[in-house]
Amino acid sequence: MPQQRPYSQVDVFTAQPYLGNPLAVVLDGAGLNEADMQGFARWTNLSETTFLLPPSPEAAARGADYRVRIFTPGGELPFAGHPTLGSCHAWLEAGGTSQAPDRIVQECAKGLVQICRDGTRLAFAAPDFTRKNPSPALLAQVAHALGLTAKQVISAQHLSNGTDWLGVLVDDRQTVLQLQPDHPALKHLGVKVGVAAMDSAPAAPDSIANHLEVRAFAALNGINEDPVTGSLNASLAQWLIADGYMPAQYTVSQGTCIQREGRIHIRQDARGQVWVGGDSVTCLRGTALL
């Protein structure tokens, strides 16, 4: 029998409401089955909807404070970035208390994700990822669908950290902002594409920028352009820092072309762990009949 469940809608990667990436959070998902969750996520029609649950006994023994299930309108994700920060923000706001004084530990299908307070912001530890070179044929097809020339592409990598992206680094911020992708073509190619550019392309191998402009195209998941994307920026950071394109600390702008002002704060600590941080603000609070 449906019941009223506490519900929040959180804007993530912004301190100002309605300029980030919205997230629906059902704060008590107990008793809901996968079909219930998927149906509600389809109804909200947001890029992600999350459902909070008690951690599994095994995860709780390893320090997990809560469990989250993450759904797009089309299916469940093992991990995603803005749902991680937004869910943690809503859980803390609802009175959640972590086992450890300096960390919140989230259980998701990908595993355990560490979250820390970075000043007034929350930041999650980028999960382990894999990377590989795309085939030249696929990269050429993606570049064509994006309207890019081969000369504009600096580098590209397949990136996977629980969700898969083709990351493409291009020559200039204006190149990113002026893209008009062929979304049906990208969907046909079966890839989600993240395009990034430094404020200015390096003039020499030791010349790096400290700001990145990013756009994320996910027609494959029914989202032509995602406003602000934590999972993509996590794996982009791991790749771009490791290969010397970006420094150990930088900021990201995303959403510019769709009237958003998303800001992501990237930091690699002394142990090499990349942290992905941002502000969150609750825009709606109430109950959902589920």
Q: What are phi and psi of 278, to 5 degrees?
A: 180, 160
The residues of the chain scoring below 70 in pLDDT are 200-209
Whole-number pLDDT of residue 223: 87
Please report where in the chains the tokens 């003039």 appear, as a residue.
203
Q: Which residues of 21-31 are buried (b: 16+ CB within 10 A; e: fewer)?
A: bbbbbbbbbee
Q: What is the pLDDT of residue 205?
A: 46
- Do residues 193 and 232 lie in contact, with contact meaning Cβ atoms separated by under 8 Å? no
| Structure-block tokens of residue 200 | 């200015």
42, 43, 45, 48 alpha-carbon torsion, rounded to 10°: -60
> Which segments of the chain belong to CATH 3.10.310.10?
4-125+278-289, 130-271
Share of the chain above pLDDT 90, in %: 90
Buried b (16+ CB within 10 A) or exposed e, 155-193: ebbbbebbbbbbbbbbbbbebbeebebebeebbebebbb
Report the distance separating Cα 197 and Cα 171, nearest Å: 6
CA torsion 272-278-284-287 (nearest 10°) is 10
pLDDT of residue 199: 82
Q: Which pLDDT score, from 0 to 100, does residue 99 have? A: 94
What is the per-residue pLDDT across 212-242, written as a single tens digit (0 to 9) for each?
999 999 999 888 999 999 999 999 999 999 9
Structure confidence by residue, pLDDT tens digits, 92-103:
999 999 999 889
Residue 191 DSSP class: -
Give the per-residue pLDDT at 279. 97
E strand or H helix at 27: none
pLDDT digits (tens, 9 = 90+) for 235-274: 999 999 999 999 999 999 999 999 999 999 999 999 999 9
Q: Could you tell me the two tokens for 155?
A: 């580098």
N-to-C CA span, the chain: 8
Cite the active site residues: 48
Of 79, 52, 76, 77, the residue nearest 66 (C-alpha): 52
CATH number of the domain at 130-271, out of 3.20.20.80, 3.10.310.10, 3.40.50.150, 2.60.40.730? 3.10.310.10
**pTM here?**
0.93
Beta strands in the chain (DSSP E): 4-12, 21-26, 49-53, 66-72, 75-77, 104-108, 111-118, 121-125, 130-132, 153-160, 164-170, 193-198, 211-218, 223-226, 249-254, 262-268, 274-278, 280-289
Superfamily of domain 4-125+278-289: Diaminopimelate Epimerase; Chain A, domain 1 (3.10.310.10)
